[in-house]
Amino acid sequence: MSRHLTGRAAAPGVALAPAAVIRPPAASEAGEAGTPAEERARLDDALERAADQLEQLAEHVNQELGDDEAGIFEAHAAFAQDPELADRARKAVAEGDAAAAAVASAFDSFRALLEASESDYLAARAEDLDDVRDRVLALLAGEAFEVEAPRELSVIVAHELSPSQTATIPRAVIAALVTETGSPTSHAAILARSLGVPAVVGATGIVDLATDGADLAVDGHQGLLIVDPDDEERAHIQQRLDKDARRREELQALRELPGTTADGHRIELAANIGAEPDLADAVDAGAEGSGLVRTEFLYLDRTAAPDVDEQAEFISQVLRTFPGHRVVVRTLDVGADKPLPFVDREEEPNPALGLRGIRLSLARPGLFRDQLRALLAARADVGDQGGRLAIMFPLVSLPAELTEARRHLVEVAAEHDHDLGGLEVGVMVETPAAALAADRLASHCDFLSIGTNDLLQYLFAADRLLHSVSELADACDPIVLRLLDDVAAAAHAHDAWVGVCGEAASDPATAVALIGLGIDELSMTPAAIPEIKAALRDVTRADCRHALDTAMAQPDASEARDALSAGPT
Ligand code: PEP
Ligand code: MG
């Protein structure tokens, strides 16, 4: 008989395949502690072997998946070699603890420090720390830490999947991912979305319910799991798989076509690039360039800033990926929840309101100017063999910040004899102040790109990382639509083009509103491009404007969203 279980939907799609249950290494009984000298030797040996294994894993991942993903494991290896962490554990051993107990307490006290920062970014590092701790404990217990990956296409089921465990499972065998713990932003969910397979997280009890090899159906839209589905359920799942396959074919047929409305109004549909693997996904999705290259990943998880050559090399690669299209590279947007270890900053009680985005770049001109050097070097290197570079400054709140950032750009160009002719420069509109100053900003730059993720957070005073307040901030809210209508009008009045690069661009109802208000470019996660392209090809520009006017007249976000989803009347 089939058995059902519900978790949280974390990546869309439907799958039916045998379950492969990944079990954590059994927790071994804590034995008697040896002498402090014996335990110290065991401790040092386990830390050293963990660091070696992680360095090898980083190398393996580098070859399989590229630099960016390998960086996670380089950071893990650094944790295993961290002198302060090792000192804490050695101190506990010297006081008579067994090596395993000392490792557990040293890692846990480090974890508490990271968690106390209340930042999502550092909380994710805490997850990484657990991963390293478990590896060291497994080594001390003489057990294997790596998972035994299935050889055939399977639904991977686990209590929790750590990044290093996930990295050892070949991608080709993953039909879906299901975990008992986690949230839609956990590693497993992110991996599933990048692989285009469904995921369900928070499925408490699935590890006991699904035996190895039992058929498991996963509905990543609704968070439903069916173990051993019966004939009727199988038929139903098969129908959905067929429907998904037909839809993929329909969308694939649009791949080479440009983004337009049904009446031929042109909208550029571009990809957001957050790391190297996004480049191939963007090309597969038929992206028309990039409206947002998030350069932060080049700086995070390292102890020193990347040098100019390394940055220029990556930017050249991005430009070469999109010949004939525009590539908007955003200058460094760190600070807040993405601190850089090599930049000293004072403690910030409200990091989202602190020294982040362009503010940090202007306060640390050395870092900023190196990045500008790299961008201009990549532009010169690629010439007309790749995309057209545009430079965008994040989290601008005053026109004076744009002026100052431009001054640095002009000076750096002069130092290196770079010609700035034809280079578009723009700002992100992601603070209420920038939205209200759109006309002044637009009169001093070539484009505005609306970052709805931050703009909504600041507009509604609702932390974008906090689930409990997430419902307050909706891009379809009539007050947001009216504000964006003004921003678009201000940009166009100064002959600047206007784009949207926040998550809102990938929501079909919001995209209709955005086209209604005259947005010229939508940039989004590559996987969302085909559906948005299809949705816009079903409506005319006038339909979009009509839907927008109706939405703006509604009392709240939910009724505005209904008006936008209703389709042409
Ligand atoms: C935004 O704020 O909408 C945006 C695109 O920038 P990020 O999500 O990187 O802050
Ligand atoms: Mg932002």
pLDDT digits (tens, 9 = 90+) for 18-44: 999 987 655 555 567 789 998 899 999
Residue 166 is predicted with a pLDDT of: 77
Ligand index nearest the alpha carbon of residue 295: 1
Residue 149 is predicted with a pLDDT of: 79
Decide if pLDDT at 46 tops 80: yes
Which has more pLDDT, 183 or 313? 313
| 103-141 pLDDT tens trace | 988 888 887 777 766 555 666 677 778 888 888 888 888
Residue 566 is predicted with a pLDDT of: 85
**Element at 550 (helix H, strand E):** helix 541-552
% of the chain beyond a pLDDT of 90: 60
Pocket test for ligand 1, best of 329, 332, 428, 524 (most atoms within 8 A of CB): 428
Decide if pLDDT at 547 tops 80: yes
Ligand 1 atom showing the smallest separation from residue 457 Cα = 2
Who contacts 394 (Cβ-Cβ below 8 Å, separation ≥6)? Answer: 330, 331, 332, 333, 357, 358, 428, 430, 451
Residue identifier of the C-alpha nearest atom 9 of ligand 1: 294
How far does the centroid of ligand 2 lie from the alpha carbon of residue 369, in Å?
A: 21
Of the candidate ranges 153-167, 212-226, 307-321, 483-497, the one whose mean pLDDT is the lowest: 153-167
Residue 64 is predicted with a pLDDT of: 65
Ligand index nearest the alpha carbon of residue 274: 1
Ligand 1 atom showing the smallest separation from residue 504 Cα = 3
| 105 alpha carbon, distance to own chain's centre | 31
Q: Give the Cα separation of 155 and 178 in Å (integer).
A: 7
Of the candidate ranges 147-151, 246-250, 318-322, the one whose mean pLDDT is the lowest: 147-151
Ligand 1 atom showing the smallest separation from residue 292 Cα = 5
Domains of the chain: 3-24+147-249 (3.50.30.10), 36-141 (1.10.274.10), 264-564 (3.20.20.60)
Ligand 1 atom showing the smallest separation from residue 272 Cα = 5
Residue identifier of the C-alpha nearest atom 3 of ligand 1: 451
| Alpha-carbon distances, residue 462 vs 328, 454, 468 (angstroms) | 28, 10, 9
Averaged pLDDT for residues 257-261: 96
Pocket test for ligand 1, best of 328, 427, 454, 510 (most atoms within 8 A of CB): 454
How far does the centroid of ligand 2 lie from the alpha carbon of residue 235, in Å?
A: 44
Name the nearest CA neighbour of 441 among 428, 423, 454, 452.
428
Token pair, residue 69, equals 């993903």
Ligand index nearest the alpha carbon of residue 121: 1
Provide the annotated active-site residues: 187, 501
Decide if pLDDT at 463 tops 80: yes
Residue 5 is predicted with a pLDDT of: 95
Which has more pLDDT, 145 or 396? 396
How far does the centroid of ligand 2 lie from the alpha carbon of residue 186, in Å?
A: 20
How far does the centroid of ligand 2 lie from the alpha carbon of residue 395, in Å?
A: 7
pLDDT band at 478 (very low <50, low <70, confident <90, very high): very high
Residue identifier of the C-alpha nearest atom 4 of ligand 1: 451
Residue 122 is predicted with a pLDDT of: 64
Average pLDDT of the chain, as a whole number: 89
Who contacts 347 (Cβ-Cβ below 8 Å, separation ≥6)? Answer: none
Residue 467 is predicted with a pLDDT of: 67
How far does the centroid of ligand 2 lie from the alpha carbon of residue 488, in Å?
A: 18
pLDDT band at 357 (very low <50, low <70, confident <90, very high): very high
Name the nearest CA neighbour of 14 among 242, 250, 249.
242
Residues with CB under 6 A from ligand 1: 292, 294, 333, 430, 451-454, 501-502
How far does the centroid of ligand 1 lie from the alpha carbon of residue 333, in Å?
A: 9
How far does the centroid of ligand 2 lie from the alpha carbon of residue 267, in Å?
A: 22
Ligand 1 atom showing the smallest separation from residue 501 Cα = 5
Question: Where do the H-state alpha helices sit in 66-98?
Answer: 67-80, 83-94
| 424-444 pLDDT tens trace | 999 999 999 999 999 999 999
Residue identifier of the C-alpha nearest atom 8 of ligand 1: 453
Q: Is 149 exposed, middle or buried (0-12, 13-18, 19+ CB in 10 A)?
A: middle
Residue identifier of the C-alpha nearest atom 6 of ligand 1: 451
Ligand index nearest the alpha carbon of residue 525: 1
Of the candidate ranges 43-47, 127-131, 380-384, the one whose mean pLDDT is the lowest: 127-131
pLDDT band at 258 (very low <50, low <70, confident <90, very high): very high
Ligand 1 atom showing the smallest separation from residue 451 Cα = 3
Pocket test for ligand 1, best of 120, 294, 393, 456 (most atoms within 8 A of CB): 294
Averaged pLDDT for residues 82-91: 88
CA torsion through residues 40, 41, 46, 49, sign: positive
